[in-house]
Structure 1
Amino acid sequence: MDNKRISDFIRGYAAEEDELLQRIRSECESAGVPLIRPETAMFLRTVTALVRPHLVLELGTAAGYSAICMAGSFEGIERIDTLEDWEPRYAIAEANIKEAGLTDRISLIKGDASETMKSLTGPYDMVFIDAAKGQYPDYLKEAMRLTAAGSVIIADNILMDGEIIESRYLVERRDRTIHKRIREFLDDITGDDRLVTSLIPVGDGITFSVRER
């Protein structure tokens, strides 16, 4: 099975994005800025429309693309708190969110996600994790504190472009710590009896969890 051909096929059915989102994607791809894949964006929009969250937490703003996608998928979102710790990306996201006319609904917070989460209160209806992969287990602990029954937690890039299925000794040395931490995260999120979780091979892989209690 040719995964690239399948991805291209799925992307062919994605709704056409507005001019701003197209520009953000083009600029991010040119500059090497991390961005959710088109099929992941499709899934995120669908989940947002289904869950109809009022309060959303996003870890890893990057250029603001995914926050803008979520805000556009359900007008009932009262606020998206999105965390970004790298100044250049923060500035880009700030400009993009302003251009989208969403400064009243998207709250851009500068700071390390692990530390900043500790100052938040919630409860959030939906949490989207897409920040430093080595911190995923820590993010999950805080996400559980910041959510309640009925909340949804989504985490991106859990397949590491396929490397997650390999032994850590077959992974590039620089990626071994991330490999270990993502495996730890997967054990934690699937083993938590407060959550019902699925691993879904869309984009670079996501976990989709619904909190039962």
Structure 2
Amino acid sequence: MRNEMMHRPVLKDEVLELVRDRQKKVPGALGKIQEQATIDNVPIIPNETASFLRFFLKQIKAKKALEVGTAIGFSASLMLDAMGEGSHVTTIDRFDVMIRKAKANFEDLGVADQVTLLEGDAKEVLPTIDDTFDFIFMDSAKSKYIEFLPECLRLLKVDGVLMIDDVFQAGTVMHDIKEIPKSQRTIYRKLNQLYDVVLNHPDLTVTILPLGDGVLMISKDVEDIKL
């Protein structure tokens, strides 16, 4: 389950130490899940991304979030903690092992009634959702981001934010494709396709942040987005 790219950070070691190790870890029972996942190399968002996510959700006063890629339920639980009373997260995953662990963590944390966990492939699940969300967090198969993008934008409210994790491929996403191992070239092509679509789109406001293995932030400026 080790995410190799997370062990090849694009920041200098001393900067990484500041943003990852000197920022406060998540407190309480959720912090224990974060700590154990780090020890076990379970692929959850790194501490600098978790710190930003908590801060950002508080600032935009989000109450309803969608997540693509539940994993063990850490980031969904973190979002609920940040959004506070009356908040709800809908999250999607297709891996039985992760689904079982996530459900157990939601129960242990006492947030199960604030979570709707949809089981299945996001490609099939997303079109069935009839709702709008303040915030969407996409942290799943990187080669599928461009495929999930239209549905995520459909579900996002105007001025809502879509946050897409792990978009740097350890900094290799801008290398010449000949330098990319063949096993990674599909991800490389799909991530670059994602950049091509969103970075200069007239109806999207976009920024890129060097958190973890890269974060892409997309705000929807109009209701109907044509890609």
TM-score bin (small chain): over 0.9
Structure 2 runs not aligned, ≥5 long: 1-9, 223-227
Partner residue, 1:17? 26
Letter of the aligned partner of 1:160 in structure 2? Answer: Q
CA distance in 1, matches of 2:68, 2:12: 27
Q: Which residue of 2 aligns with 1:209?
A: 218
Rounded Cα–Cα distance in structure 2 between residues aligned with 1:109 and 1:165: 34
Closer/same/farther in 2, CA of residues 124 and 35 from structure 1, 3 Å limit: same
Given the alignment, which residue of 139, 142, 159 partners 1:150?
Answer: 159
Q: Aligned match of 2:204 in 189, 192, 195?
A: 195
The Cα offsets for residues 10-34 of structure 1, whole Å up to 9 and x where unpaired, read as: 2244223224233323433344321
Q: Would you say the 8 A contact 1:140–1:189 is kept in 2?
A: no
Structure 1 regions of 5+ residues with no counterpart? none
Q: Is this contact kept in 2: 1:137–1:181, CA < 8 A?
A: yes
Counterpart of 2:44 in structure 1 is 35
* Contact in 1 for aligned 2:68/2:122 (Cα 8 Å): yes
User: Whole-Å Cα distance in 1 between the matches of residues 200 and 85 of structure 2?
Assistant: 32
SS of 1:61's equivalent in the other structure is coil
The answer to whether the aligner puts 1:105 opposite 2:114 as a matched pair is yes
CA deviations on 1:52-86 (whole Å, 9 max, x unpaired) are 11221001111111111111112145310011110
Identity of aligned residues (%): 25
In structure 2, what is the Cα distance between the partners aligned to 1:14 and 1:108? 30
Where 1:161 maps in the other structure, the secondary structure is coil
* DSSP 3-state at the match of 1:32: coil
The counterpart of 2:188, out of the listed 176, 179, 186, is 179
Describe the SS at the equivalent of 2:113: coil
Q: 1:197 to 1:88 in 2, by over 3 A?
A: same
Taking structure 1 as the reference length, what is the TM-score of the superposition? Answer: 0.93
| Alignment-mate amino acid for residue 111 of structure 2 | L
Tell me the SS of whatever aligns to 2:170: helix
Answer whether contact 1:197 1:210 (CA < 8 A) is retained: yes
